[in-house]
Chain A
């Protein structure tokens, strides 16, 4: 399964990719915003890890767009963001995000969330 990591911060993409590699994930595609992510969203992508605040298209808009696409609406979406206000988290949930990690995170938390989403029934 291919993972799509979306974040406008190159440092954060590197940290997330590093964390994924640490838990055995090697097939990874990167995008710097929602627009680029949608362009890279083909049938091979099985998991999306996205930031919230990004230029051009943010993570919430990306989640809504993914849920609106028949060929992608079942892909699990994990949001990794600095936003941690309750209303923001509810907004992400309503947009179709399946789970949520608050920055700064530990690789342990990332693994737990990915494992839980992969084990869960398909969304969408």
Chain B
């Protein structure tokens, strides 16, 4: 009896499941006659590849920017320090030369005053004073050599600034080639010419530096 009851329950269950299946089937929408794929489907399919390429390019760009930043930091900091040192030297050279010229003018003025006071007295003394005065005036002329030295120091500073501008243009070219593509080439062309200055030109210790030259040419 128990077995028969169990079989009845099983059959009733199966029938109920079949009924549920039929009802569900009836609820499904009718399939279109020809299934048209949406127009954006190929783009969606390609999207992962596009994103992968974009990611690679962004990664490369960031890497270039990082490298450029490092190079820029190294070169510009060094050059800025050198430029600052050169400009500082120009300032001190100008000050030293100006002081020397003013001292010479003071001495020349005193000699002219002495000439006035000696007028009509001792001709030999007056002649000595005139000679000393000529020497003083000539020394003043020689002191103006500082202009040549500072001019070379300023040209060097200008070149350093141009080099830094070139480095910056290189970095900006990565971000916007259309705007900065030719800038670094222009700067490179400007720097390519021969340097008509000595980057180490200085007014300091002329006697010591002349001694080195004399020692070499004495051989």
Q: Which residues of A contact B (CB under 8 A)?
A: 8-9, 11-12, 15, 18-19, 22, 52-56, 58, 81-86, 89-90, 93, 98-107, 109
Q: Is B195 an interface residue (CB 8 A)?
A: yes
Q: Please, how many residues of chain B have a CB less than 8 angstroms from a CB on the other chain?
A: 30
> In the complex where A53-B195, A102-B206 touch, is A82 in contact with B213 (Cβ < 8 A)?
no
Chain B residues whose CB sits within 8 angstroms of the CB of A22 once the complex forms: 138
Can you name 9 A-B pairs with beta carbons within 8 Å? A19-B141, A52-B198, A83-B201, A89-B213, A89-B216, A93-B216, A103-B148, A105-B145, A106-B142
Q: Give the contacting residue for A15; candidates B144, B151, B206; CB below 8 A.
A: B144
A103 touches B149 (CB 8 A): yes
Cβ-neighbour of A104 out of B145, B194, B198 (below 8 A): B145
Per a CB cutoff under 8 Å, which of A9, A58, A85, A109 touches B148?
A: A9
Closest to A112 in B: B214
Max chain A Cβ within 10 angstroms of own Cβ: one of B141, B144, B149, B196 = B196
B50 CB to nearest A CB, Å: 54
Minimal beta-carbon separation of A45 from chain B (angstroms): 22
B: residues with CB less than 8 A from A are 138, 141-149, 151-152, 193-198, 200-203, 206, 209-210, 212-214, 216-217
The 7 closest A-B pairs by CB, nearest first: A84-B209, A82-B201, A104-B145, A100-B213, A102-B209, A55-B196, A102-B210
Contact partners of A101 in chain B: CB under 8 A: 210, 213
Contacts of A103 in B (CB 8 A): 145, 148-149, 201, 206
Whether the Cβ atoms of A109 and B216 lie closer than 8 Å is no
Are B210 and A82 touching (Cβ within 8 A)?
no
Q: How far is the CA of A119 from the CA of B196 in the complex (A)?
A: 32
**Are B216 and A53 neighbours in the complex by a CB distance under 8 Å?**
no
In the complex, the chain A residue whose C-beta lies closest to that of B141 is A18
Other-chain residue from B147, B196, B212, B213 in contact with A11 (beta carbon distance below 8 A): B147
Q: A52 vs B152: C-alpha distance in the bound complex, in angstroms?
A: 12
Measured between beta carbons, the chain A residues less than 8 angstroms from B197 are 53
Q: Report chain A residues within 8 Å CB of B206.
A: 102-105
Tell me, in angstroms, the Cα distance from A53 to B201 when the chains sit together.
11
Q: Is A12 a contact partner of B148 (Cβ separation < 8 A)?
A: yes
Docked complex Cα distance between A52 and B199 (Å): 12
Task: Contact check, B151 vs A19: say whether CB atoms are below 8 A apart.
Answer: no
Task: Assess whether A55 is in contact with B210, with CB atoms less than 8 Å apart.
Answer: no
- Chain B residues with Cβ below 8 Å from A99 are 217
Q: Are A53 and B196 in contact (CB under 8 A)?
A: yes
Q: Inside 8 A of A54's CB, which chain B residues have their CB?
A: 196
- Contact in complex: A104, B149 (CB < 8 Å): yes
State whether B152 touches A84 (Cβ < 8 A): no
| Chain A proximity of B145: nearest CB distance (Å) | 4
